[in-house]
Amino acid sequence: MATGSTALALIVLAALVLSMLPTSLAVTSPYVRPRPRAMLSMPKDAGGQTPMQVHISTVGHDEMRVTWITEDDAPTVVEYGTTSGQYPFSATGTTTSYSYLALYHSGKIHDAVVGPLKPSTTYYYRCSSDPSREFSFRTPPASLPFTFVIVGDLGQTGWTKSKLQHIAAADYDMLLLPGDLSYADFLQPRWDSYGRLVEPLASARPWMVTEGNHEIERIPLLEPRTFKAYNARWRMPYDAGDSPSGSNLYYSFDVAGGIVPVIMLGSYTGFEAGTAQHE
């Protein structure tokens, strides 16, 4: 295992060198960026069929996608209801996984869409029929007022911890994250630690995200496919609604009963005239 980690580190270093672009040394602002804080240390996943890294995202006006990861094969089912410990409804979904550089193999990535759901209602749920972990989420309201939290470049450092504390203290309906989620930057286990880090919040309110440059993770010849981990782990409702986009990298949806349209654009996929996103 240590040999694989060393090889991955060397490949990542080579990829970073290849991807470097010239930058200007000119000082354009008196602002001084605070020093980086250390990476957070997160406990490892529980293993087996225990659902971990749970997060939710809205689908249409009255459904929610629940995504979670298990180490082993497990039922892709979400059981839910409006009373803790009672789950009269259920939904089944799909399971996928991915490998990266043949050195990393993800867990089983499950997602299932639950609904129809009532607005402004708390639902309790469990994943893969696991009785050890109950989660809950509150559905967004079907009218105004509607409260967003907007955050970018979240990462998983000491700064992230303080951001998440601020978010947790807010009474919000939905979080928008326009790029740069985990800062895994080719090191795939950091996607897992990020999933564990944000789970307490991302399992309780819909997190709607798009990609940033830190999600690209392309290595010429070795990993030519861009956004491999991002697309596998954070599926958004690009194929739902009245105007599906056909790409997980950009999409749109409505909130507050259709009063507020939200357009999530992708700046790291084609957007010039003639591209699908431009159209």
Residue 37 within a domain = no
> Is 15 a domain residue?
no
28 located within any domain: no
> What is the tens place of the pLDDT at every residue in 87-115?
999 999 999 999 999 999 999 999 999 99
**Which residues have CB under 8 Å from 262's CB, separation 6+?**
176, 208, 252, 253, 254, 255
pLDDT of 224 over the 90 cut: yes
Kindly report the average pLDDT of the chain as a whole number: 91
CA–CA distance from 28 to each of 21, 24, 31, 279 (Å)?
A: 19, 10, 9, 35
Q: What is the pLDDT of residue 43?
A: 81
The average pLDDT across 47-69 equals: 97
pLDDT at 17: 46
CATH of the domain at 181: 2.60.40.380
Number of structural domains found in the chain: 1
Owner of token pair 């897992």: 192
Cβ-Cβ contacts under 8 Å for 271 (sequence gap 6 or more): 265, 277, 278
pTM (global) more than 0.85: yes
What radius of gyration do the chain's Cα atoms show? 19
- pLDDT for position 21: 45
pLDDT tens across 258-274, in order?
A: 999 999 999 999 898 88
Rounded Cα distance between 119 and 138, Å, is 8
Q: Grade residue 241 by pLDDT with cuts at 50, 70 and 90.
A: confident
What is the distance, to the nearest Å, from the Cα of residue 229 to the centroid of all Cα atoms in its chain? 10
The neighbour count for residue 136, using CB atoms within 10 Å, is 13
Indicate whether 192 pLDDT > 50: yes
Q: Dmax of the chain from CA atoms?
A: 62
Question: Average pLDDT, stretch 66-74?
Answer: 98
Lowest pLDDT segment from 71-75, 183-187, 238-242: 238-242
Task: Tell me how far the alpha carbon of residue 84 is from its chain's centroid.
Answer: 26
Place of tokens 């928008």: 176
| Residue 113: inside a domain | yes
pLDDT score of 13: 52
Q: Do the domain assignments include residue 81?
A: yes
Are 49 and 70 in contact by the 8 Å Cβ rule? The answer is yes
**pLDDT at residue 108 in the model:** 98
Q: How far apart are CA 239 and CA 62, in angstroms?
A: 15
Least confident of 42-56, 209-223, 224-238: 42-56
Residue type, 176: L
Let me know if residue 103 belongs to a domain.
yes
Closest-CA residue to 88 (of 140, 49, 123)? 123
Domain range for residue 74? 45-264
User: Is residue 278 within 8 Å of 246, Cβ to Cβ?
Assistant: no
pLDDT of residue 91: 98
Q: How do residues 16-35 score in pLDDT, each as one tens digit?
A: 444 444 444 445 778 888 88
Does 94 map to a domain?
yes
Residue 5: pLDDT band (50, 70, 90) is low
3-class secondary-structure state, position 12: helix
245 belongs to a structural domain: yes
